[in-house]
Amino acid sequence: MERTLTQPIAGVLPSREREAPSEGAAQRHTSARTGIRAEEFESLVREHQQRIYRVVLSLTRDPDAADTLTQECFLRAYQKRATFRGEASVGTWLVRIAVNLARDHGRSRKRAFWARLMGGRQRDDAAMADAATLVADPGASPEQAAAAREELGAVWRAADALSPQQRTIFLLRFAQEMSLAEIADAMELEVGTVKAHLFRAVATVRAKLKGKR
Amino acid sequence: MQATHLSDEQFAAALEGTAHDVAAAHLAQCAACRAELERTRGGVRQLAAWSRGVAAHPAGFWYAQRQSIAGQAAGRREPSRLPVWAAAMAGMVMTALLLLQSPWRDADLQRGVQASVDPDDLLMREIQASLRSPVPRPFEPALLVTLELQRAAEEVEAQP
């Protein structure tokens, strides 16, 4: 039987919430009101899970961590749904939670130690190898695929040299193609601050790529 | 060939697709800057492509993820909606109730109960307890003397 976010949770929700009528789809998730009802959560997960997964994947470069942190992101959002003020869109709110989770994940030195010990480098290399096939056009020659792989690896290595905040902004802008305003909302920064960080990040990446070539 | 190439600011703007006229004019003339920009642009485009490629899971993956989220959400405790002051007040009330049920309080209560017992009732209970014992209370001193004499006699016999 399919498990939904509404049904199993219904037992632990106040009846007021269970019986509340659902709003129209157009107003869902983005209306400027306080809180998100439990009934809305399943469709919210369905709508945003792939984007949140990609955001976390870009920031962690680890598909397993992306899966775990995506789940954690929605669980935190579920627990905090009553405090959602509607000042930003639900999507931005979720990205904000995801960015914080990815940052905390990256800060964990213990995890980094075990990841290295358990072959994180090999996993990175494997991901890079996969990237060649994922990035290159289906009709690309082996040389083109290798060039794509090399370019991607170079950008990743350059991004690794950035400060955590610059790196996050750089990856949200270029790997997730988020606008500066969206990034500013998600990171609770001014657009000008995001622009300044992005400029410094691009300058560093440019210097790294130039130094490599 | 241009003497000066794009500054970092111009390069970042060009990468963003918001190059000013001066930078655009330079790019039109400078093959080196154009090549550098294209290489960098290619690299960041591939970041996005990689992210989309790795995230291109089958529907079953997303379904399983939703199931897992639903299962975990059901197992997690709902956050308390009580304000802090209400929680503190509830704690104080609980503490007061516990103090009322404390052993000291019980001892005080017992003393109060004993003080309110009828003395005639107490006398009747003592008489009943005395009747139930193997030796009636008036003969207890005689029993004690007998026991002492027996013990003294045993000690004398035990001496060599």
pLDDT digits (tens, 9 = 90+) for A8-36: 443 333 333 333 333 333 344 444 455 66
3-state secondary structure of A185: helix
The residue among A40, A53, A150 with the most chain B CBs within 10 A of its CB, best to mutate, is: A53
pLDDT at B42 over 60: yes
pLDDT given at position A182: 93
Percentage of chain A beyond pLDDT 70 is 67
Question: Which domains can be identified in chain A, with CATH numbers?
Answer: 1-118 (1.10.1740.10), 161-213 (1.10.10.10)
Residues across chain B: 160
Whether A135 sits inside 8 A of B73 (CB atoms) is: no
Please report the residues numbered 73 through 132 in chain A whose beta carbons come closer than 8 angstroms to any beta carbon of chain B. 74-75, 78-80, 82, 127, 130-131
Residues belonging to chain B with any Cβ–Cβ distance to chain A shorter than 8 Å: 8-9, 11-12, 15-16, 36, 39-40, 42-55, 62, 65-74, 76, 78-79, 81
For residues B44 and A184, give the distance between their C-alpha atoms in angstroms, rounded to a whole number. Answer: 20
3-state secondary structure of B65: helix
- Where do runs of H (alpha helix) occur along chain A? 7-10, 15-19, 38-60, 63-79, 90-107, 109-117, 120-135, 142-160, 164-174, 180-187, 191-212
pLDDT digits (tens, 9 = 90+) for A84-105: 877 778 899 999 999 999 998 8
pLDDT at A67 over 80: yes
Residues of B in contact with A37 (CB under 8 A): none
Residues of B in contact with A131 (CB under 8 A): 46, 50, 53
pLDDT given at position B17: 83
> What φ, ψ does residue A34 adopt, rounded to 5°?
-95, 130
